[in-house]
Amino acid sequence: MAAERLSAQDAALWCAQDPQAPLLIGAVCLFERGPLANPDGSLRIDDLRRHLESRLHLVPRFRRRLAPIPGGQGRPLWVDDTEFDIENHAHTAVLPAPGGERELHAFVEELLAEPLDPRHPLWELWTLDGLEGDRVAIIPKVSHVMADGLALLGFALAILDFDPDVAPTEPPEWRPEPAPSGPRLLTDALVDQARTLMGGALGAARALTRPDRLGSDLAALGRAAASTATLAPRLTINRPVGARRGFLQLQLPLEDLLAVKKAADVTFNDVALTVTTIALHRYLRGQGEHPPRTRPRVLIPVSTHGTNPEGEIENRFSQMVADLPGPEVPPAECLAQIHAEMVRRKASAQADLGPLLYSLATIMPSWMLGRLAPVLLRNQPFVNLAVSDLPGSRDRLYLMGARMLELVPFITCTGNMALMIGVLSYVDTLGVGITVDPDVVSDVEALGDALRWASDELTRAVRPVTFEDPTELDLA
């Protein structure tokens, strides 16, 4: 497979990483243990590795590593890992007794604090035995440079099945291509930079031939930039993050929240943001921080996906920011205000700002971006937290015949955002993963309790709709 240059977005993410705060995404997936066990009671690890290898042709990037450009003079390339070995990626561990949530969360916290090895494809998959309840945890951990939420779902769906009785298959033959030499990497990178600059100049010249359209586009971008650039309130959850991580997973009743969505005629993302808002204010009050009329600002990833020539979901995304209601707003009114705010933000050109900013990575040397971006992220004053809400599967999923019982996403903290919340639906529950820097957000358990309470409060405040047909419940 031919070498592929890192996109402007992914190059910006790669360079913006703080060495002690790698940008990682993934999920905690709990499965029934029986079908994953050998007759002697041990886990079928060799079978799992063969299963993974039989599906990797569906996600080619998971056998590719990053080749940096000498001197940082351009965006790195994705190249085949000629030394790819599934044992470098599929690991196993046993939780200490009693194997409950406390032990599971402690393992995830250690896992999120460890960077991935850049000499190999930027992913791992951990299989954890020793969980109570005759369960096994499967935890994919992936660099955000390789995949965002939807691309990670693409990987998950490649290795999972909708039917428990799928026969194993032999992996197709894979022949890696050797990486270009250092001088070739540098030459190609300089040519690519020149081509990019020339393309930008030609694009600007074409835009000048349509001054009416150019003026309206620039005005829209200007309004979006002005709304984004206003300062977020100063909160204790915003301090430069260190190397430690705290993690908590919980389940919320999906049908109840979908009924709220239907009754209020809003999107499910509006509902998720409302629960987050109510919970955040409750948590801040519990920490002795309750300034009146505080409107936290949230960063919301926006998918702009396409596929590459191999049919693999590409890591394309932008972001929006939204101002959340203050602590004095009742739950039903909070939901209405968030819906109106999101309608306003979506109507703006705000989502176009992300690709525009990331395009700077195509003209700025990687070494310079790598020095500037982490400093800027550690001191950014524009957002307080991030919430990522993804639709999952309403159908049961299986791994080698084992039924998946729970699915909870995670996103690591970065910059000075010490609180990240991932939301993902599966069957009849909503999995919520909370990642924090415990030296900044010290009581993640209190935050989890606040989210459960907020979900109940919102459900009680908005009259739920009764559905005779469960298919009426959708995640749009």
With a cut of 70, list the residues of the chain below it in pLDDT: 1, 72-73, 148-150, 181-229, 303-318, 349-366, 464-476
What residues does each domain of the chain span? 226-391+412-472
Q: State the pLDDT at residue 6.
A: 76
- For domain 226-391+412-472, the CATH architecture is 2-Layer Sandwich (3.30)
pTM: 0.85
What pLDDT, on the 0 to 100 scale, is given for residue 207? Answer: 46
**Tens-place pLDDT, residues 131-154:** 999 999 999 999 988 876 667 778
The string of pLDDT tens digits covering residues 27-47 is 999 999 999 999 999 999 999
Q: What is the pLDDT of residue 314?
A: 52
pLDDT of residue 240: 94
Predicted pLDDT of residue 132: 96
3-state secondary structure the chain: CCCEECCHHHHHHHHHCECCECCEEEEEEEEECHHHECCCCCECHHHHHHHHHHHHHHCHHHHEEEECCHHHCCCCEEEECCCCCHHHCEEEEECCCCCCHHHHHHHHHHHHHCCCCCCCCCEEEEEEEEECCCEEEEEEEEECCCCCHHHHHHHHHHHCECCCCCCCCCCCCCCCCCCCCHHHHHHHHHHHHHHHHHHHHHHHHHHHCCHHHHHHHHHHHHHHHHHHHCCCCCCCCCCCCCCCCEEEEEEEEHHHHHHHHHHHCCCHHHHHHHHHHHHHHHHHHHCCCCCCCCCCEEEEEEECCCECCCCCECCCEEEEEEECCCCCCCHHHHHHHHHHHHHHHHHCCHHHHHHHHHHHHHCCCHHHHHHHHHHHHHHCCCCCEEEEEEEEECCCCEECCEEEEEEEEEECCECCECEEEEEEEECCEEEEEEEECCCCCCCHHHHHHHHHHHHHHHHHHCCCCCCCCHHHCCCC
Per-residue pLDDT, 303: 61
pLDDT above 90 covers what percent of the chain?
Answer: 57
pLDDT of 92-136, one tens digit each? Answer: 999 999 999 999 999 999 999 999 998 999 999 999 999 999 999
